[in-house]
Amino acid sequence: MTRRHRQRRGAATISTAAGALACLLLAGLPRHWLEAAMWRHMLLQLPLLVAAGCLLGIALGTGPSRHGLRRAAIVDQHGITGLSAALFITAYWMIPRALEQSINLPLSEVAKFASLPLAGLLLAASHRRASPVIQLFFLGNFCWMTAIAGMQYQNLPQRLCNAYLLDDQLATGAGLVAASIAVAAAWCALHAKALLSNPDAPTPHATTGT
Amino acid sequence: MAMKTSTSSNNSERAPLWPTLAALAAVCVLGVTALHQGTMGFAVVGTEDGRRLDIRRAPRLLPSAAIHQPQATTLARTLRDDDRVAIVSFVYTSCNAICTVLGTEFQQLQQEVLKRGLQRQVRLLSISFDPRDDSRALAAYAQRQHADAQVWQLASVDRADQRQALLDAFGIVVVPAPLGEFVHNAAFHVVGPDGKLVRVVDYDNPAQALDDALALSRSAGSRP
């Protein structure tokens, strides 16, 4: 690897890490404002926290500690451990009771600010180890879960959180359904080229096992 | 021998699967435990259902907040001095939405209590969480609702910290809504003379609230 190449990669690592920090600050500094409405809480703050972890994962994957990260593959073959953990974490924060606890209990707030970046980090690290089929399995689970939660938020006549108004809950439900469709569409757009050109060839992401 | 060599060389190329499976099992156990905790044993998803289940499982001792009825007293004292079980609801007197419903339910409960002659076992208590509700506002509200002072009393909380402590203890969350209204998790709260909140019943089920209050009254009366 040339020196110039290495320098360029170093700059990319630093800007990605800065992006992670920016997401974390955007989710944390105005947290009272974000958490005052259910839609801002679920559709802005939670994705920002996941994005922070995701960008950190990408930065670590290209940064000096990438070899250590690769060693984690021994407990995360095909990315199934990391993707499962990310799925559990996102599922937990879709429970309205858990969401509301995070605005009342400091311990729960700390857990939210720790677990969702972790989910993003695992997503970034594990999806590289997962073949498109495995990615699709977890994507399907996530989108199905998000859409069902979104529909429930809209169909139930009662408020699920005491801190949020019913109109807010309806808007959040619609937003969750839209988000589940958007995430699925984004994945398809990213993989369409690779899948359409040669469905049998491994994608550049799918370096499993080793 | 040749077999063994080929297997070991295979292993060095492909990492064994068992560490991944063990880690996956640990993730699943942790994940299911978290979901179990978040839904109180897969019983609830919403906060209000959680509050009701929590109180049903473990009755809460209420704080001795300073209240006015309109004379100054504390919640603990008014509950103790009156040996009846209280059905408590939270209101604000300028309310046009759910409080009117709760008020009507309380009116029906009052009629039921009087009709069945239960006024020695059960009473009704409306507590206002609105700082604008002074004694005069409460008196006007009581008159509007035809509250019989023997059965149905009202209380206001003057001090903001006492009010918040009381709301926190009950688990009432008041959210300001458009047009000067408040949205809050309205319900019937069954409270014993010992100052313990034992049951929360939905406001569309006043008969259940009365049954629970009578059951508590009987169990308290049978105690030595």
pLDDT digits (tens, 9 = 90+) for B21-69: 999 999 999 999 999 999 999 999 999 999 999 999 999 999 888 888 8
Candidates A77, A81, A95; nearest CB to B27: A81
Q: What is the average per-residue pLDDT within B6-18? A: 57
Residue A60 has pLDDT above 90, yes or no: no
CATH class, range B59-222: alpha beta
Q: What is the average per-residue pLDDT within A89-94? A: 97
What is the reported pLDDT for B220? 75
Q: What is the average per-residue pLDDT within A114-133? A: 94
Give the minimum alpha-carbon distance from A151 to chain B in angstroms, rounded to a whole number. 14
Which of B186, B155, B158 has the alpha carbon at shortest distance from B172? B186
Under the banding of pLDDT at 50, 70 and 90, the label for residue B10 is very low
Give the DSSP H or E segment for B197: strand B196-202
Residue A178 has pLDDT above 70, yes or no: yes
Candidates B23, B32, B48; nearest CB to A81: B23
3-state secondary structure of A115: helix
> How many other C-beta atoms are found inside a 10 Å radius of the C-beta of residue B203?
18
> Mean pLDDT over all residues of chain B?
87
Which of A64, A119, A132, A126 has the alpha carbon at shortest distance from A90? A119
Token couple for B224: 């030595």
Report CA-CA distances (Å) from B121 to A155, A178, B127, B171: 40, 53, 20, 25
Contacts of B35 in chain A (CB under 8 A): 88, 91-92, 95
Under the banding of pLDDT at 50, 70 and 90, the label for residue B7 is very low
Which residues 189-208 on chain A approach chain B with CB closer than 8 angstroms?
none
Q: Between chains, do B50 and A76 touch, taking CB under 8 Å as contact?
A: no
What is the reported pLDDT for B3? 40
At residue B58, φ and ψ (nearest 5 deg) are -140, 95
pTM comes to 0.88
Sequence spans of domains, chain B = 2-38, 59-222
Q: Tens of pLDDT along B180-213?
A: 788 899 899 999 999 999 999 998 889 999 999 9
What is the reported pLDDT for A113? 97
What is the reported pLDDT for B18? 92
Spatial distance between the Cα atoms of B75 and A146, rounded to a whole number of angstroms: 44
Strand partners, B174: B184
Candidates B22, B35, B48; nearest CB to A91: B35
Contacts of A80 in chain B (CB under 8 A): 20, 24
Q: Which amino acid is at B136?
A: R
What is the reported pLDDT for A199? 53
Q: Which amino acid is at B6?
A: S
Under the banding of pLDDT at 50, 70 and 90, the label for residue B71 is confident
Candidates B24, B27, B46; nearest CB to A160: B46
Q: Between chains, do A100 and B27 touch, taking CB under 8 Å as contact?
A: no
DSSP conformation class of B195:
S
> How many other C-beta atoms are found inside a 10 Å radius of the C-beta of residue A182?
12
* Residue B72 near residue B66 (C-beta atoms within 8 A): yes
What is the reported pLDDT for B51? 96
Q: Tens of pLDDT along A153-173?
A: 999 989 999 999 999 999 999
Spatial distance between the Cα atoms of B28 and B116, rounded to a whole number of angstroms: 55
Residue A180 has pLDDT above 90, yes or no: yes
Give the minimum alpha-carbon distance from A61 to chain B in angstroms, rounded to a whole number. 20
B3 touches chain A (CB under 8 A): no
What is the reported pLDDT for B68? 87
Q: Which amino acid is at B169?
A: A
Q: What is the average per-residue pLDDT within A53-77? A: 83
Q: How far is residue A86 CA from its own chain's centroid?
A: 7
B39 touches chain A (CB under 8 A): yes
How many residues are given for chain A? 210
Helices (H), A93-206: 96-104, 106-127, 132-155, 166-197
* B175: nearest CA partner in chain A: A163
Q: Tens of pLDDT along B98-155?
A: 666 666 888 889 999 999 999 999 999 999 999 888 888 899 989 988 999 999 999 9
Residue A175 has pLDDT above 70, yes or no: yes
Q: How far is residue A3 CA from its own chain's centroid?
A: 33
What is the reported pLDDT for A37? 96
Q: Between chains, do B38 and A210 touch, taking CB under 8 Å as contact?
A: no
A95 touches chain B (CB under 8 A): yes
Q: Which residue did the predictor score with more confidence, A5 or B160?
A: B160
Q: Which of A74, A84, A95, A126 to mutate to test the interface with B (most CBs of B within 10 A)?
A: A95
Give the minimum alpha-carbon distance from A12 to chain B in angstroms, rounded to a whole number. 31
Residue A203 has pLDDT above 80, yes or no: no
Give the minimum alpha-carbon distance from B144 to chain A in angstroms, rounded to a whole number. 28
Q: Between chains, do A74 and B19 touch, taking CB under 8 Å as contact?
A: yes
B223: left (phi over 0), alpha (psi -120 to 50) or beta: beta
Q: Which residue did the predictor score with more confidence, A129 or A200?
A: A129
What is the reported pLDDT for B154? 92
Regarding an ipTM greater than 0.95, the answer is no
Whether the ω angle into residue B63 lies within 30 degrees of 0, i.e. cis, is: no
What is the reported pLDDT for A143? 97
Widest CA span in chain B: 99
Q: Between chains, do A85 and B31 touch, taking CB under 8 Å as contact?
A: yes
Q: What is the average per-residue pLDDT within A70-81? A: 88
Q: Between chains, do A84 and B17 touch, taking CB under 8 Å as contact?
A: no
